[in-house]
Amino acid sequence: MLRGSLSGGVLYVVCCWSMVAMVVESGIGVNWGTISSHRLKPSTVVDLLRENKIQKVKLFEADPDVLKALMGSGIQVMVGIPNEMLSILSSSPSASDFWVRRNVSAYMGKGGADIRYIAVGNEPFLTSYNGQFQNLVMPAILNIQQSLVKANLAGYVKLVVPCNADAYESSGLPSQGVFRPELTQIMTQLVQFLNTNGSPFVVNIYPFLSLYDNKDFPQEYAFFEGTTHPVQDGPNVYTNAFDGNYDTLVAALGKLGFGQIPIVIGEIGWPSDGAIGANITAAKVFNQGLINHIATNKGTPLRPNAPPMDVYLFSLLDEGAKSTLPGNFERHWGIFSFDGQAKYPLNLLLGNKELKNARNVQYLPSRWCVATPSGDLTDVVNHMRLACSVADCTTLNYGGSCNEIGEKGNISYAFNSYYQLQMQDSRSCDFDGLGMVTFLDPSVGDCRFLVGVTDKGSDSSSFQTTCQWWILVVLLLLEGTFLLSV
C-alpha cells in the first residue's frame, strides 16, 4: 500500500525451492504502520500482539522504539527500508554496512528482536512512480546482502521486495499472467536472487481497490462467499479475486522459469471507513473470509494444496495521519482502531476466538469539544478547514461513518478531532467562541467521537531516523570524495 505510507504456529517445508515448494500451513501476520496522530507506546502495541497470539509483524521502517519493544518478544519481524533510502544504499556499500549495523545487528542476538526479513523498498515498481526506483532495487539488494554477509546474518535474515500487484498483468485470465514488459529484465534478476538466497516473492493484493477503482467489478467476486460471476480459465474456475490475482502472479513467475518459488502476501485487507463499500461489516466479512480460505490449505488452481507461505493482514491499527491521496479509506485499514480497540469480532485462528483489546491504554479525560448550541455558525467554514487540515476528518466524507450526522454534527466532529489532537488544550476548543467543552459523549450510532490517548509513543524515533538518514548521506559523500581522490 502506498505510504505517505502473526501468527501462532507456522509450519512449512520448502524443498529445492527452484523446483518445488510444499507449504503445509500458512502463517497469519500483521502490518504495523505508525503514521498516526495518536500513537500508542510501542510496548503497548507489542503487548497487544502477544495478547492476540500474533507472532509475525511487518514494519515499514526501522523505528528504533518499535524494534526495542519487540526485543525478547519472540515475534518474527520483517523490517522495511523506505524507497527514499534506496538511492543511498544502492550507491554506497559503507552506507549499507551502517544501515545493517544500526537497524539489524544492534537488535539481534540473545534476548533481541527476531528479525527474519528485510524488505528492500515498499512497492518500488508501482506504476505511479514512473520508474523512479526501478534501477535502484537490485544494486541496493546486492549491497545489503554483502552487509549481511559481513555481519554473519545472511543465513538467517532474508531480503525481499514487496511488490504491488500492478507489477503483473493479464488479458483477463490468470493463466495469461505476465510481468509488465518494462519490468521483465529487473524481475528476472530479482527472482533469480530470491531463489538463490532462499527468499520468497512478496506481493501486496487488494481486492478492495479493484472494487473501488472499477464500478463494473462484481462486488461478490471481491469476497470469499461464492459469486455469480466466476472466471473460467480452461479447466480452472475462479470464484474470488484473491485466487485469480494470486494465480496471475504464479503464471507470470512461471514464464520467468520460477513458477514454484514460495510466495508471501505482504499486504491484504479491507478498510472499515472512508468510502462507499468501506465499512465494518465488509471488513469483517472479507478478513474472516480470507483467514478461513487460507486455513483450508487448498491453495489455488495453479498451486493446489500450496497456499501462500505467510499472509500479513493490512493492517493492525488505523493510521490517522496517512496521506489520503489514494482515498479517505487509507486511514481506516486497521482491524483495531488507533487506540488498540477491536473494531469487530475476528478469529485469526491463532488460539483466541476473537480479538482482544489493548490493555491499560491511558486516555485523556472523558470530554469533547462540540459546536455551541446557540452560536452563529454561518462563518464556521474556515474553522472547519483549519481543524481538518491538521486532524483526521475522513469519516465525514461521502461514504464515511459520520457522513449523515447533520451540519452541526459535522462541525462538532471536526472541532473535537482538533481538540483531542491538541491534547484537550482548552484554547483549541475556542474557534472564536463557536466551540464548547462537553462531558456528554456526542457520538451518534456508528460515528464515534474519539478521546485522545496519553499513552503516546515518544518522538525520539523520527529524530533518530532523521539522524540515520544524514549519517548515510555523509558516508556517501565521504565515499565519493575518497573515490575521486583515488
Measured distance CA(31)–CA(113) in Å, rounded: 16
Asked about 51 being catalytic, the answer comes back as no
Measured distance CA(420)–CA(451) in Å, rounded: 6
pLDDT tens across 63-121, in order? 999 999 999 999 999 999 999 999 999 999 999 999 999 999 999 999 999 999 999 99
Helix (H, G, I), strand (E, B) or coil at 114: strand
Measured distance CA(216)–CA(210) in Å, rounded: 10
Asked about 123 being catalytic, the answer comes back as yes
| Annotated catalytic residue within 25, 61, 220, 267 | 267
Helix (H, G, I), strand (E, B) or coil at 47: helix
Average pLDDT of span 35-59: 96
DSSP 276: T
pLDDT tens across 130-189, in order? 999 999 999 999 999 999 999 999 999 999 999 999 999 998 899 999 999 999 999 999
- pTM value is 0.91
More confident residue, 7 or 310: 310
The CA–CA distances, whole Å, from 205 to 165, 166, 481 equal: 6, 9, 43
Measured distance CA(164)–CA(305) in Å, rounded: 24
The answer to whether 335 and 276 have CB atoms below 8 angstroms apart is no
| Annotated catalytic residue within 61, 123, 319, 330 | 123
* Superfamily per CATH, domain 27-331: Glycosidases (3.20.20.80)
For 79-113, what is the HEC assignment? EEECHHHHHHHHHCHHHHHHHHHHHCHHHCCCCCC
Q: In the chain, which segments carry CATH 3.20.20.80?
A: 27-331
Measured distance CA(472)–CA(476) in Å, rounded: 6
The answer to whether 353 and 412 have CB atoms below 8 angstroms apart is no
The answer to whether 233 and 301 have CB atoms below 8 angstroms apart is yes
Strand 368-371 and strand 435-438: the pairing is antiparallel
pLDDT computed for residue 378 by the predictor: 79
Place of cell 551502517: 98
